[in-house]
Amino acid sequence: MQRHLSTIKKLAYPLFTVLLLTGCKNENNTQQIEETNEVSNDTIPEFASEPLVKDNYTADPSAHVFEGKIYVYPSHDWDSGIPEDDTGAHFNMKDYHVYSMDSVGGEVTDHGKVLDVEDVKWASRQMWAPDAAEKDGKYYLYFPAKDENDIFKIGVAVGDSPAGPFEPQEEPINNSYSIDPAVYKDTDGAYYMYVGGIWGGQLQRYRNNEYQGEEDVYPADDEPALMPKIARMSDDMLGFAEELRDVEILDKEGNPLTTGDNDRRFFEAAWVHKYNDTYYFSYSTGDTHNIAYATGDSPYGPFTYQGVVLEPVLGWTNHHSIVEYNGKWYLFYHDSSLSGGKTYLRSMKVAELKHNEDGSIETISSYANEDAE
């Protein structure tokens, strides 16, 4: 907490204080989100790293090693003119670019636009955080988008190269819903998709995989929080081989994290990596802005909460991926530094991630000289 407070003090910028104290429910939050998130020139902090791309706004970076390179699949921010609100309507992304690099810190190649919302028959708007996977020489781009009824579904597009382009399927994945697909390939060759996000991600509108309507319904603060979902992928990678099921996140006493536990409970942005035979489930806590992590013995979980991977960044959202490359682990993330703090104009970055001898992850700050007073 001390590092969080020093960050807030350094920025001297009241929005963070408001956000860190908010509740989890999607009620009465419009005012806090509409407050400016820009930073004046005399309060710009020092950041630990530079944006990987400066000619586009890129967010939610999903990084993978394909064909000996790092390929990154981010969402593509732009200023659509839609006012900010608590449903995330201002995150009105409409296409995807793919980026690659031969080395971390080296040149980043933009492979151009690989998919546009106009190419997706079932999608109407808001192409949010994507992910990608490879199987048998084919590459699959998974993406959330709203259909004609403004309900998020998960789509898939197929290509012959990790750099795209990708040809979308005519329909979304059957029985898919919510946002932030993340596909994990286990060491036994099985593929799993994780999905889910509350608030604008609509997870709160489902029970037992059934849509309950437009009303947002959350468990009580002392009840188990809404959980992300998982399903094993079908052999053709175009659908689910089973129904989506809950991914439990527990405290160290074995109790499910509760709705009111904003510092630890799941909000969005699921990701899984495996280290020394342990599965690490990492995710965003949303309105408390941490990337947290939990560990388990199976891709299905349950996962036990362990701590924070990445502390709050400049901007409202926090979204990441974790990848191993040439014997080192890296965290890809975004912040709003390039846009001067505009929360819907973000830029992807990278930092080295370190596992301690006991398996814990060293907490990362996006700010330089974080401990300096």
Residues with a known catalytic role = 60, 268
Q: Per DSSP, what are the bridge partners of residue 280?
A: 273, 295
Other CB atoms within 10 A of residue 203 CB? 25
3-state secondary structure of 270: strand
Q: Per DSSP, what are the bridge partners of residue 153?
A: 145
In angstroms, the Cα distances linking 181 to 22, 79, 204, 238 are: 26, 24, 16, 13
Question: In degrees rounded to 5, what are phi and psi of residue 337?
Answer: -65, -40
DSSP string, 25-60: SSSS-HHHHHS-----GGGPPPBSS--S-SSSEEEE
Closest CA to 93 of 348, 346, 350: 346
3-state secondary structure of 323: strand
* Dist CA 205 CA 225 (whole Å): 13
Closest CA to 77 of 62, 54, 57: 57
Question: What's the order of all strands across the beta sheet hosting 347-353?
Answer: 320-325, 328-335, 347-353
Residue 131 carries which DSSP code? E
Residues 6+ apart with CB under 8 A from 309: 282, 290, 291, 292, 293, 320, 322, 331, 353, 361, 363, 364
Burial, 251: exposed, middle or buried (Cβ in 10 Å; 0-12, 13-18, 19+)? middle
Burial, 71: exposed, middle or buried (Cβ in 10 Å; 0-12, 13-18, 19+)? buried
